[in-house]
């Protein structure tokens, strides 16, 4: 039970005790008050006049604690009173300004500062503000939970990045080894062709040398005979003239023609790099759409070259990053589709559960939404043996045959997303929409059979000026 305030008042200064001391007679005074009294020369109790010892009086700890608590309570009461009253007008704060978000008094309401502002009673404002703060608290707690989850999985994310980088390096090395092998084989074949032509040219030159040697020998003999005839008597020369002339004319001519004996360097080096690159195109695939593994649901398995996907009940252990689809087995392509025309073909094969098409870049990744145009999806669906265009509501489609491949063609500027059977280029369905957002190739499946993006033939066009 608290003491009456009179029991906490100093008999000398008539105010609450400050640093109270206790005299031997059991009376208490402020230390400064009793000190001033004793400075007059008489060292006795100001109340009962009993003599006090010369020693310094002891502090009354219990009384001091009670007095300090009382003074603190008074201070708090004054602060509360100040918070309940307007600092400008001294009136009680009974209203809450909804514009300036602060409590005001009735005088403030009619002042220029708050005139015309919507206000509500303090009691209602407290409830509304508590509700708003509770919502803010929930949002902050949700954000804190999310940050704590990220913090908890950061070690796994670090390990995954390391593994991801190593696997990517390994795949790069593997593909470059294939390229190196192609170049090595082409280099070997071209060097072998040069070697073969070298052997052929040398063999031809040797044959030519043999012919020249035989011709030189025949010419030497003929020259010798003519020289001898020139030294004979006139009649003998005339008798042998026809035979000598026939011998000279019978010597074959043309052995001195060395045309075409050199290696055809131009044939081997003309546009060599271009021809090798052109030949490599026949052995290297180009795929117009590549899957983005960072968006793939944990139950989707992607091929090493990121052109094929299938469903597996076994999670891949990928991290819970924001780009990833978390609710259903979806993945998008990594190339954004904007202005212009785009097409790609997907081999569905034996897969009987899929959605194919395009999706807006902003579609939610952590919540499940229907694949409808109003949600940013333009897709074709096969499920339970039925084809449907995923309109709102879905449009059933009757096809004469089940296509093994589906060709998707987006004309962004014209606002069409079309699906074809590439076997005979038959139109399956076409969406019409005014696209305003970046689109991405979209894939969904819960089937273990793969969906494969088909490679395309690269055509080379030469520009001549």
Do 268 and 371 sit in the same domain of this protein? no
Of 34, 50, 84, the last residue of a domain is 84
Q: Are residues 273 and 300 in the same domain?
A: no
> Does one domain contain both 382 and 310?
yes
pLDDT interval class at 359 (50, 70, 90): very high
Q: Are residues 449 and 332 in the same domain?
A: yes
Do both 263 and 298 map to the same domain? no
More confident residue, 212 or 464: 212
Contacts of 7 (CB under 8 A, 6+ apart): none
Determine, yes or no, domain membership for 155.
no
Q: What is the pTM of this model?
A: 0.61
| pLDDT for the residue 1 | 43
Has residue 28 been placed in a domain? yes
327 lies in the same domain as 231: no
pLDDT in tens, 373-383: 999 999 999 99
Q: What percent of the chain has pLDDT over 70?
A: 95
Q: What is the pLDDT of residues 132-181, one digit of tens each?
A: 889 999 999 999 988 887 777 777 788 888 888 999 999 999 999 999 99
Of 124-128, 173-177, 314-318, 423-427, minimum mean pLDDT range = 314-318
DSSP string, 361-380: TT--SSS-----GGGTEEEE
pLDDT for the residue numbered 2: 56
* Burial (0-12, 13-18, 19+ Cβ within 10 Å), 123: exposed
Give the range among 200-204, 219-223, 249-253, 283-287 with minimum mean pLDDT.
249-253
How far is the CA of 287 from the CAs of 150, 284, 335, 364, 457, in angstroms? 35, 10, 12, 27, 9
Residue 254 pLDDT greater than 60, yes or no: no
For residue 465, what pLDDT is reported? 61
Same domain, 255 and 310: no
Average pLDDT score over residue span 281-300: 90
The CATH number assigned to the domain holding 378 equals 2.60.120.920
Tokens 């559960």 correspond to what residue? 353
pLDDT at 252 over 90: no
Q: What is the pLDDT of residues 417-450, one digit of tens each?
A: 999 999 999 999 999 999 999 999 999 999 999 9
Mean pLDDT for the chain overall: 88
C-alpha distances in Å from residue 93, one per residue of 55, 97, 115, 116, 198 = 55, 11, 16, 18, 108
- The average pLDDT across 21-38 equals 90
**Confidence band, pLDDT 50/70/90 cuts, at residue 80:** low
Q: Which residues contact 304 (CB under 8 A, 6 or more apart)?
A: 171
* Domain assignment of residue 102, yes or no: no
Q: Which carries the bigger pLDDT value, residue 206 or residue 316? A: 206
Identify whether 80 is part of a domain. Answer: yes
**pLDDT surpasses 50 at 303:** yes
């Amino acid at each position: 039970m608290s003491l009456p305030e009179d029991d906490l008042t100093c008999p000398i200064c008539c105010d609450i005790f400050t640093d109270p001391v206790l005299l031997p007679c059991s009376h208490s005074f402020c230390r400064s008050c009793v000190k001033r009294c004793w400075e007059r020369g008489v060292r006795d109790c100001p109340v009962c006049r009993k003599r006090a010892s010369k020693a310094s009086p002891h502090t009354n700890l219990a009384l001091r604690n009670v007095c300090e608590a009382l003074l603190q309570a008074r201070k708090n009461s004054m602060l509360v009173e100040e918070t309940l009253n307007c600092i400008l007008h001294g009136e009680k704060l009974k209203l809450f300004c909804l514009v300036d978000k602060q409590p005001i008094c009735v005088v403030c309401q009619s002042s220029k500062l708050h005139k015309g502002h919507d206000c509500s009673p303090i009691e209602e404002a407290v409830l509304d503000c508590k509700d708003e703060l509770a919502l803010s608290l929930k949002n902050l707690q949700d954000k804190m939970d999310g940050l704590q989850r990220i913090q908890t999985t950061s070690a796994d994310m670090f390990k995954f990045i390391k593994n991801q980088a190593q696997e990517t390096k390994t795949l790069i090395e593997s593909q470059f080894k294939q390229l190196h092998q192609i170049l090595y084989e082409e280099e070997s074949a071209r060097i072998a062709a040069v070697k073969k032509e070298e052997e052929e040219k040398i063999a031809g030159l040797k044959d030519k040398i043999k012919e020249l040697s035989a011709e030189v020998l025949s010419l030497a003999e003929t020259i010798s005979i003519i020289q001898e005839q020139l030294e004979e008597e006139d009649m003998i020369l005339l008798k042998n003239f026809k035979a000598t002339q026939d011998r000279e004319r019978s010597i074959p001519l043309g052995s001195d023609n060395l045309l075409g004996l050199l290696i055809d360097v131009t044939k081997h080096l003309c546009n060599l790099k271009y021809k090798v690159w052109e030949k490599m195109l026949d052995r290297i695939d180009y795929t117009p759409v590549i899957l983005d593994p960072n968006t793939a649901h944990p139950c989707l398995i992607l091929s090493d070259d990121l052109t094929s996907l299938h469903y597996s009940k076994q999670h891949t252990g990928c991290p819970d990053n924001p780009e990833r689809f978390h609710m259903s087995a979806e993945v998008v392509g990594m190339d954004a589709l904007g202005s212009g025309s785009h097409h790609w073909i997907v081999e569905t094969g034996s897969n009987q559960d899929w959605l194919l098409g395009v999706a807006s870049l902003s579609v939610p990744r952590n919540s499940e939404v229907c694949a409808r145009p109003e949600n940013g999806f333009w897709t074709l669906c096969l499920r339970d043996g039925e084809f449907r265009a995923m309109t709102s509501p879905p449009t059933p489609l009757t096809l004469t045959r089940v296509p093994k491949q589906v060709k998707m063609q987006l004309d962004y500027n014209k606002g069409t997303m079309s699906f074809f059977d590439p076997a005979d280029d038959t139109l399956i369905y076409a969406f019409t929409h005014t696209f305003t957002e970046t689109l991405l190739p979209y894939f969904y499946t819960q089937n273990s059979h793969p969906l494969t993006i088909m490679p395309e033939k690269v055509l080379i066009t030469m520009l001549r000026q």
